[in-house]
Structure 1
Amino acid sequence: MAYRSELEARVARKTTRAIVDYDMLEDGDRVMVGLSGGKDSWALLQALDVLRQRAPITFSLIAVNVDSGYKEYKHDLIAGTCTAREWECRIEHTGIGQTIDDILDDGATPCSLCARLRRGVLYRVAKETGATKIALGHHADDFIETLLLNLFFAGSLKAMPPKLVSDDGAHVVIRPLVYVGEEEARAYAKECGLPIIGCCCPACGDLGLQRQRTKRLLMELEREHPGVKQSMLKALGNVAPRHLLDTRLNPPGELRATAGLKPENTDTAVRLKADTTDTTLRLKADAKYDHPKADATYEA
């Protein structure tokens, strides 16, 4: 079966590479796609549907939309689009918008709280629908922006994992678009004729938010130095723990004991001694700053 375009082939290739690199899918998986109606989640759903028809394993898809309760939100358009394309879809109506208004003070950024509340809904629906994986539409730019936000404003060297297990071990969250750029996701959603729908939150699109400022910085850097974003994404998978200041990774009293290990074994030894889940493959979702679509607690 031929791809519809070179763009679709490229998105499919990058998505497949992420799935293989991070062991995201297994035969028989029921994958629940968090579908906000934005370009990224539409691109993810479309890409997974394309791969589902070509993959050597069998997996099914269900799109779940969490309606926050804003009157202007076009959840009917999302449901109609899924029905027309024969995608299984569930709209989960909530009062998250009102809850946020009641809890937060005027001027506070709601994205982090909203993300946590929505994640809780997704976990519940995953259990109800028998989903074995929860797929979110974070793309390469999201990973890079989160890295910079933590560096600039949280004093932490971290981004977000392409695959994680919830703290209770009940859910596996995957981000198959980790190698796909934001512009590629936007172009792909447009090419596929998918309706781009905003969340209708009054705070969305506020260019004063730290993430939007960081996004603009990245755009300027990429314009001046083409390829810099790709280099930063590569850096997230090319960490040298021995060259960092974290004493949990490099206990001063144990440096000589690990000096004789081969380079490829040293980092493993140090990680095993470090009492922190941030350096294991099972990364927690309670990062100090994750993407607003994840579990952020740092208020950008």
Structure 2
Amino acid sequence: MKLQELLSHTRKAVDEYQMIQEGDHIAVGISGGKDSLTLLYALHGLKRFYPKKFELSAITVDLGYKDTDFTEVSKLCEEMNIPYRIVKSDIAKILFEDRKEKNPCSLCAKMRKGALNQAIKEMGCNKIAYAHHKDDIIETMLLSLLYEGRFYSFSPMTYLDRMDLTVIRPIMFVEESDVIGFKNKYDLPVVKSRCPVDGYTKREYAKNLVKELNKENPGAKQRMFTAILNGDIKGWPQRVIRTR
């Protein structure tokens, strides 16, 4: 995927769900993975021509794993002239040494978001951009059906009233395969995940299940995504589709 195609998908999401308003200061959550770095490129590119002017900052919560180095990410942000902050934490130690969690994902996400949101407010941002793509949205829906018995996926835009902060997901129309292609084409400085349960989660199971369903029923993945967009899911904002 070329940058122009990434920007087209991003503009579509931002316009249809009215994610960005004049004067917004958006923090890009950077894990160091391919998705968040692609999101950084997307919003940096969009900022150059989008009619509503906004500011960008980038932020990483360092979970405390050994041999995790964000130097190249820092250099990229510097090249893009985007302020970048790394928040140090002991989350990895708490999860795997102190508590010895067997299923750490939920608690990890909660602790990471807590540290992230606090730092974002200190930076003066009013929005945080997460790098969830199309496949993430479909997999979340499938997990919700299988384990919660409800048709749900996270919203393109969510207002957190306790933090007075809005979460946006600008690359929601981008497929993971295209993110991988973008990473390879632009040689993104990906920071390898050191999490010991990476690749062994329920989300990984859902990812493989979606692949299998789409293989056996060509087009199934896109139909699931369309069902989500048209599903009138509680909490989702009104979608505005402009005809030319």
Report the TM-score, using the length of structure 1 for normalisation.
0.74
Determine helix, strand or coil for the equivalent of 2:2: helix
1:134 maps to a residue whose letter is: I
What is the CA–CA distance in structure 2 between the aligned matches of 1:105 and 1:97, rounded to whole Å?
10
- 1:77 paired to 2:32: no
- 1:232 paired to 2:221: no
> Which segment is superposed worse, 140-149 or 212-221?
212-221
Counterpart in the other structure of 2:2: 7
| Residue 193 of structure 1, aligned match among 187, 210, 213 | 187
Determine helix, strand or coil for the equivalent of 2:225: helix
| Residue 202 of structure 2, aligned match among 200, 210, 224 | 210
Identical positions, percent: 35
CA contact (8 A) 1:139 1:180 kept: yes
Determine helix, strand or coil for the equivalent of 1:197: coil
Counterpart in the other structure of 1:279: 234
- 1:173 paired to 2:129: no
Counterpart in the other structure of 1:244: none
User: 1:197: how far off?
Assistant: 1.4
Return the structure number with greater relative CO, CA threshold 8 A, min gap 6.
2
Counterpart in the other structure of 1:287: none
Q: Please list every run of 5 or more consecutive structure 2 residues that lacks an aligned counterpart in the other structure.
A: 238-244
RMSD over aligned Cα atoms = 1.8
User: 1:125: how far off?
Assistant: 1.2
- Residue by residue, what CA displacement relative to the aligned partner does 1:65-96 show, whole Å, maximum 9, x if unpaired? 11011112112232123223433211111111
Answer with 1 or 2: which has the greater Rg.
1
- 1:88 paired to 2:99: no
Determine helix, strand or coil for the equivalent of 1:279: coil
- Residue by residue, what CA displacement relative to the aligned partner does 1:177-198 show, whole Å, maximum 9, x if unpaired? 1111111112112222211112
Counterpart in the other structure of 1:295: none
- 1:20 paired to 2:15: yes
- 1:50 paired to 2:5: no
User: 1:62: how far off?
Assistant: 0.7
What is the CA–CA distance in structure 1 between the aligned matches of 2:92 and 2:163, rounded to whole Å?
28
What is the CA–CA distance in structure 2 between the aligned matches of 1:49 and 1:280, rounded to whole Å?
28
Q: Please list every run of 5 or more consecutive structure 1 residues that lacks an aligned counterpart in the other structure.
A: 1-5, 241-277, 283-300
User: 1:165: how far off?
Assistant: 0.9
| Residue 151 of structure 2, aligned match among 157, 178, 186 | 157
Counterpart in the other structure of 1:146: 140
2:86 maps to a residue whose letter is: I
Determine helix, strand or coil for the equivalent of 1:90: strand
User: 1:102: how far off?
Assistant: 4.8
Counterpart in the other structure of 1:65: 60
Determine helix, strand or coil for the equivalent of 1:159: coil
What is the CA–CA distance in structure 1 between the aligned matches of 2:141 and 2:99, rounded to whole Å?
26
1:111 maps to a residue whose letter is: C
- Residue by residue, what CA displacement relative to the aligned partner does 1:213-251 show, whole Å, maximum 9, x if unpaired? 1111111222233322111111112126xxxxxxxxxxx
What is the CA–CA distance in structure 1 between the aligned matches of 2:236 and 2:156, rounded to whole Å?
10
Correspondence 1:94-173 to 2 at 5 A:
94-102=89-97, 104-106=99-101, 108-168=102-162, 170-173=164-167
- Residue by residue, what CA displacement relative to the aligned partner does 1:111-139 show, whole Å, maximum 9, x if unpaired? 11111111111111111111111000000
CA contact (8 A) 2:24 2:125 kept: yes
Counterpart in the other structure of 1:266: none
CA contact (8 A) 1:79 1:91 kept: no
